[in-house]
């Protein structure tokens, strides 16, 4: 295909990029010609291993911290050029039923999974307007679409990500910025591995293809949305969940 490897000049930033789905996205975007930079929150060992294995530079900051997002974006732009592809992938879980969920666990998930999209998108929005080009891909979740027992916080954040995507898409359109969401189902990552085994077994039994997804199966959609020629796709959500929820 003519444009499998495209514009090498574009800098793509993937938050939560050193592990799981984020790592898959980083690796695929790099392979397809982007200059990729990753963000991570705390696991230094995994981040160093990621950089050694992929050659992709990783920066450490907290995506829930508004000021930290603005200053890291300025730093990354200085070192790597303006970020015109932003993948808001960083996320955490603090599962528990509403009865048992603390206010702190509610807020941590809302701040890290939802406010982070505001923080990071704000930080690169003006630069994208200047470039007259931008691609923002927000990683939502099947659980933001369908709901999930024990995830009031996570479902709210992931559903919120879809709403934000639609509003930002309307605002960005006139400036060549597209904003889309990808809603993965259950994918083989550390996050899903933390679900109790008996609960996970039950969940897998509801996936028509009969298995967890692979990070690269999510990454392919992100790459597709990031492409130059995907410019008519904006405000949409691509569900990738093995048929578990058809939405
Ligand atoms: N529907 C209805 N009832 C359910 C239920 C469900 N899906 N899941 C559990 N229950 C019931 C149980 O049967 C139990 O009732 P009984 O005592 O009457 O049998 C009761 O709820 C309590 O269940 P637990 O013993 O599991 O309660 P807990 O407090 O120990 O744990 C929980 C609750 C933390 C929510 C646990 O069930 C859990 O971890 N669930 C998985 C949540 C999940 O899917 N997280 C996804 C993480 S991965 C991710 O988020 C990535 C992504 O985007 C897909």
CATH number at residue 124: 3.40.50.720
Q: How far is the CA of 18 from the centre of ligand 1 (A)?
A: 28
Could you tell me if residue 221 is inside a domain? yes
**Residue 83 near residue 136 (C-beta atoms within 8 A):** no
pLDDT one-digit tens code per residue, 111-133: 999 999 999 999 999 999 999 99
pLDDT tens string 170-222: 999 999 999 999 999 999 999 999 999 999 999 999 999 999 999 999 999 99
Domain count, the chain: 1
Q: Which domain holds residue 204?
A: 11-237
At 228 the pLDDT is 95
For 71-78, the CB contacts below 8 A with 24+ separation are 72/39, 72/123, 73/13, 73/120, 73/123, 73/124, 74/123, 76/11, 76/13, 76/37, 77/11, 77/124, 77/127
Is the pLDDT assigned to residue 138 strictly greater than 80? Answer: yes
Catalytic residue among 149, 154, 186, 247: 154
6 part of a folded domain: no
Query: In the predicted model, is pLDDT for residue 2 greater than 80?
Result: no
Active site includes 154? yes
Residue nearest to atom 22 of ligand 1 (CA): 97
Q: Can you tell me which atom of ligand 1 is nearest the CA of 100?
A: 29
What gap in Å lies between CA 192 and CA 30, rounded to an integer? 25
Pocket of ligand 1 (CB under 6 A): 93, 95-97, 100, 141-143, 148-151, 154, 186, 191-192, 195-196, 199, 203
The residue whose C-alpha atom lies closest to atom 7 belonging to ligand 1 is 149
Residue 242 lies in a domain: no
Question: What mean pLDDT value characterizes the chain?
Answer: 96
Q: Report the pLDDT value the prediction gives residue 247, as an integer from 0 to 100.
A: 78
Tell which atom from ligand 1 comes closest to the C-alpha of 191: 48
């Amino acid at each position: 295909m003519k444009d499998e490897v495209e514009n090498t000049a574009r800098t793509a930033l993937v938050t939560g990029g050193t592990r799981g789905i984020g790592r898959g996205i980083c690796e695929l975007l790099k392979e397809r010609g982007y200059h990729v930079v990753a963000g991570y929150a705390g696991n230094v060992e995994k981040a160093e291993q990621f950089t050694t294995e992929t050659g992709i530079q990783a920066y450490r900051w907290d995506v829930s911290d508004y000021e930290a997002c603005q200053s890291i974006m300025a730093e990354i732009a200085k070192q790597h050029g303006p970020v015109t592809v932003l993948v808001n992938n960083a996320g955490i879980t603090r599962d528990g039923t509403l009865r048992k969920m603390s206010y702190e666990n509610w807020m941590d998930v809302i701040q890290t999974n939802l406010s982070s999209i505001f923080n990071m998108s704000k930080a690169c929005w003006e630069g994208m307007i200047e470039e007259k080009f931008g691609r923002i891909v927000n990683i939502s979740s099947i659980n933001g679409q369908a709901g999930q027992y024990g995830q009031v916080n996570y479902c709210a954040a992931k559903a919120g990500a879809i709403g934000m995507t639609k509003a930002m898409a309307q605002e960005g359109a006139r400036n060549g910025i597209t904003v889309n969401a990808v809603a993965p189902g259950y994918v083989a990552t550390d996050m899903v591995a933390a679900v109790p085994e008996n609960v996970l077994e039950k969940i897998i039994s509801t996936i028509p293809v009969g298995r967890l997804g692979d990070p690269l199966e999510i990454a392919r959609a992100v790459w597709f949305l990031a492409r130059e020629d995907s410019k008519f796709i904006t405000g949409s959500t691509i569900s990738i969940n093995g048929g578990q929820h058809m939405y």
